[in-house]
Amino acid sequence: MVDAADAPDAGDRPRLDAFIAARDESLTRAQVQRLIEAGDVTVNGLAPAKAGVRLRAGDRIEVTIRPPVPVELVPEAMPLAVLFEDTHLVVLDKPAGLVVHPAPGHATGTLVHGLLAHVDDLAGIGGELRPGIVHRLDKDTSGVMVVAKDEPTQQALSAAFKAKTDVLREYVAIAAPAPPGARGTIRTLYDRHPVDRKRFSSKVDRGKPAITHWEVVERLRLGAAVVRCRLETGRTHQIRVHMADSGWPLVGDPLYGRRYAGELADLARRVQRLELAHPATGARLAFTTEPPADFLALLAALREPAQPSSGKR
């Protein structure tokens, strides 16, 4: 049981879910709302009727955090686009729509489940629920991923990604509107959004440093552009946040972007180039994925000149 302490001064009266999420950064607002719905939150000993109830000074909030239900990782055979594999690691092209590792709402059908069927003795390497995983791509991001097949490789790759040594990560996306210049670097502090705990923000006073280098590759119709981004740091959602906070959101980003109609409603998923030094041999490995079909279709539409209307007036 977690005692959330006294509510704030009179006149402030925050929402219950927002107050708990602000006090415990390990909980998102959505997670708090689920706790409230499950009856695991009480205000002055009573279960609140809704997550948006307003608190008063002196209110006593208690939150019960139940132990997570154990997740058994069962290998699941699935097609994997393997780009390179040896006894130490496997490099693959992760498709959009595939979750990397088990998480709330995704207990099965993840990349980890497929890797367990593909690689012998992967379980336990680097973490119980994330065996072999060195870095992560968002569910709706396609691109190159490297997975360790043994503990020394896991440790060496994790250290390289953390220190940013011998690792190059580039992403390509379609942004609208386009950045005004040809290239630039975004350097900010980076932390969770102060209100929406599902999101991150570069407009914060405190946080970790985040650095993204960007370059306009091609300018398109409707004010859009193909943009290549190179990560110097690897914060969660970093490219999406940096581009959106700069005023150039990625097309099709459901969390940080905007809603479009017509051509721009299609999701422009990013593709990736990954270069790294092989932890065992020192050889330089470089991989580039081909853009997925929906990215190419949107790109073709934005390259074509607008067709005149054939309708009669």
Nearest to 77 by CA among 45, 33, 111: 111
pLDDT of 252 higher than 70: yes
Give me the percent of the chain exceeding a pLDDT of 90.
42
pLDDT digits (tens, 9 = 90+) for 265-299: 555 567 688 999 999 999 999 999 888 887 888 88
Label residue 10 by pLDDT band (50, 70, 90): very low
Most trustworthy range by pLDDT among 227-241, 249-263, 293-307: 227-241
- The alpha carbon of residue 77 and the mean position of all alpha carbons in its chain are separated, in whole angstroms, by 25
Beta bridge partners of 199: none
Q: Is the fold of 70-163 the same as that of 164-304? A: yes
Phi, psi angle pair for 211, to nearest 5°: -135, 125
pLDDT of 9 higher than 70: no
Q: Is 36 exposed, middle or buried (0-12, 13-18, 19+ CB in 10 A)?
A: buried
Higher pLDDT, 242 or 51: 242
Most trustworthy range by pLDDT among 38-42, 79-83, 122-126: 79-83
Domain covering 2-63: architecture: Roll (3.10)
Segments making up each domain of the chain, as ranges: 2-63, 70-163, 164-304
Residue with tokens 């909980």: 27
Question: Could you give the C-alpha distances from 218 to 136, 143, 173, 183, 278, in angstroms and in order?
Answer: 27, 20, 11, 12, 33
Residue with tokens 């490789």: 153
pLDDT of 125 higher than 80: no
Provide the angle, in degrees to the nearest 10, between the axes of the packed helices 29-37 and 16-23: 120
Tell me which fold the domain 70-163 belongs to: Pseudouridine synthase (3.30.2350)
pLDDT of 244 higher than 60: yes
The count of other CB atoms within 10 Å of the CB of residue 234 is: 16
Q: Indicate if 59 belongs to the active site.
A: no
Question: Could you give the C-alpha distances from 309 to 146, 249, 306, 312, 313, in angstroms and in order?
Answer: 48, 29, 9, 8, 10
Which tokens in the block code for residue 70? Answer: 């154990």
pLDDT digits (tens, 9 = 90+) for 90-116: 999 998 888 888 877 778 889 999 999
Higher pLDDT, 311 or 151: 151
Label residue 262 by pLDDT band (50, 70, 90): low
pLDDT of 164 higher than 90: no
Q: What is the C-alpha R_g of the chain?
A: 23
Give me the percent of the chain exceeding a pLDDT of 70.
87
The reply to whether the predicted model has a pTM over 0.85 is no
Query: Which DSSP string do the residues of the chain spell out, in sequence order?
Result: -EEEEE---TTT--BHHHHHHHH-TTS-HHHHHHHHHTT-EEETTB--SSTTPBP-TT-EEEE--PPPPP-----------EEEE-SSEEEEEEPTT--SS-BTTBSSSSHHHHHHHHSTT-TTSS-SSSTTB-S---TT--EEEEEESSHHHHHHHHHHHHHT-SEEEEEEEEESSPPSSSEEEEEEEEEE-SS-TTSEES--SSSEEEEEEEEEEEE-GGG-EEEEEEESS--TTHHHHHHHHTT-PBTT-TTTS----GGGGS----EEEEEEE-TTT--EEEEEPPPPHHHHHHHHHHHSPPPPP----
- pLDDT value of position 70: 57
Task: Measure the CA–CA gap between 151 and 248, rounded to whole angstroms.
Answer: 40
- Per the prediction, the chain carries an average pLDDT of 84
Label residue 49 by pLDDT band (50, 70, 90): confident
Beta bridge partners of 218: 226
Catalytic residue chosen out of the listed positions 138, 150, 191, 266: 138
CATH number at 164-304: 3.30.2350.10
Answer for the pair 31, 46: CB distance below 8 angstroms, yes or no. Answer: no
The count of other CB atoms within 10 Å of the CB of residue 266 is: 18
- pLDDT value of position 306: 55
- pLDDT value of position 24: 81
Beta bridge partners of 208: 190
- pLDDT value of position 92: 93
